[in-house]
Amino acid sequence: MNERDTLKVNEKGHLELGGADCVELAKKFGTPLYLFDETYIRKMMGVYRDTLKKHYGDNGLVLYASKAFSCQAIYRIADEENIGIDVVSGGELYTALQAGFPAERIYMHGNNKLDYEIGEALDAGIGCIVADAYSEIDKIDAEAKKRGMVQRILLRINPGVEAHTHAFVQTATTDSKFGFSIADGTAEKATAYAMTKKNVKLDGYHCHIGSQIFEKQSFVLGVEKVMDFAVSMKDKLNFTLETLNMGGGFGIWYTDEDRKILAEGYAEYLEALIQTVKEKVAQHGLKAPYLLLEPGRSIVGEAGVTLYTVGAIKDIPGVKKYVAVDGGMFDNPRYALYQSKYTPILANRANEPCTEIVSIAGKCCESGDLIAVNVSLPKAETGDILAVLSTGAYNYSMAMNYNRNMIPPCVLVRDGEAEYIVKPQSYADIVRNDVIPSRLLKKTK
Ligand code: LLP
Enumerate residues 6+ apart whose C-beta is below 8 A from 358.
320, 321, 322, 323, 374, 375, 377, 380
Calculate how far, in angstroms, residue 219's C-alpha sits from the geometric centre of ligand 1. 14
Calculate how far, in angstroms, residue 68's C-alpha sits from the geometric centre of ligand 1. 7
Tell me the pairing of strands 370-377 and 385-389. unpaired
> Is 178's pLDDT higher than 60?
yes
Amino acid identity, position 249 = G
Enumerate residues 6+ apart whose C-beta is below 8 A from 148.
none
- Between CA 215 and CA 165 the distance in angstroms is 10
Q: Is 42 helix (H, G, I), strand (E, B) or coil?
A: helix
End-to-end CA distance of the chain: 63
Cβ 386 vs Cβ 307: under 8 Å? yes
> Is 380's pLDDT higher than 50?
yes
The pair phi, psi for residue 192, each rounded to 5°, is -60, -40
Q: What is the pLDDT of residues 19-42, one digit of tens each?
A: 999 999 999 999 999 999 999 999
Enumerate residues 6+ apart whose C-beta is below 8 A from 330.
362, 364, 399, 400, 401, 402, 403, 405, 407
Does the pTM exceed 0.95?
A: yes
Query: Dihedral (C-alpha) 247, 67, 122, 292: value to the nearest 10 degrees?
Result: -20
Amino acid identity, position 302 = E
Q: What is the pLDDT averaged over residues 396-401?
A: 98
State residue 3's pLDDT score: 59
Cβ 295 vs Cβ 250: under 8 Å? yes
Calculate how far, in angstroms, residue 11's C-alpha sits from the geometric centre of ligand 1. 38
Catalytic residue among 71, 364, 365, 410: 365
Q: What is the pLDDT averaged over residues 170-181?
A: 80
- Between CA 85 and CA 61 the distance in angstroms is 9
- Between CA 4 and CA 384 the distance in angstroms is 23
> Is 352's pLDDT higher than 70?
yes
> Is 353's pLDDT higher than 80?
yes
- Between CA 425 and CA 138 the distance in angstroms is 40
pLDDT band at 340 (very low <50, low <70, confident <90, very high): very high
Contact residues of ligand 1, CB 6 A cut-off:
65, 67-68, 86, 109, 169, 171, 208, 211-212, 247-250, 294-298, 334, 393-394, 398
State residue 313's pLDDT score: 98
State residue 1's pLDDT score: 45
Cβ 300 vs Cβ 36: under 8 Å? yes
Nearest CA, atom 5, ligand 1:
208
> Is 205's pLDDT higher than 50?
yes
Q: What is the pLDDT averaged over residues 114-135?
A: 96
State residue 176's pLDDT score: 82
- Between CA 251 and CA 240 the distance in angstroms is 32
- Computed on alpha carbons and rounded to an integer, the radius of gyration of the chain in Å comes to 23
Q: How far is CA 239 from CA 24, 149, 229, 417, in A?
A: 59, 21, 11, 52
Number of helices (H) and strands (E), helices first, in the chain?
12, 21
State yes or no: is 207 an active-site residue.
Answer: no
- Between CA 15 and CA 23 the distance in angstroms is 7
Tell me the pairing of strands 410-414 and 33-37. parallel
Could you please report the per-residue DSSP string of 190-228? HHHHHHT-SSEEEEEEE---BSSB--HHHHHHHHHHHHH
Q: Among residues of the chain, what percentage have pLDDT more than 70?
A: 97
Among 64, 158, 211, 218, the mutation site with the greatest number of ligand 1 atoms within 8 A of its Cβ is 211
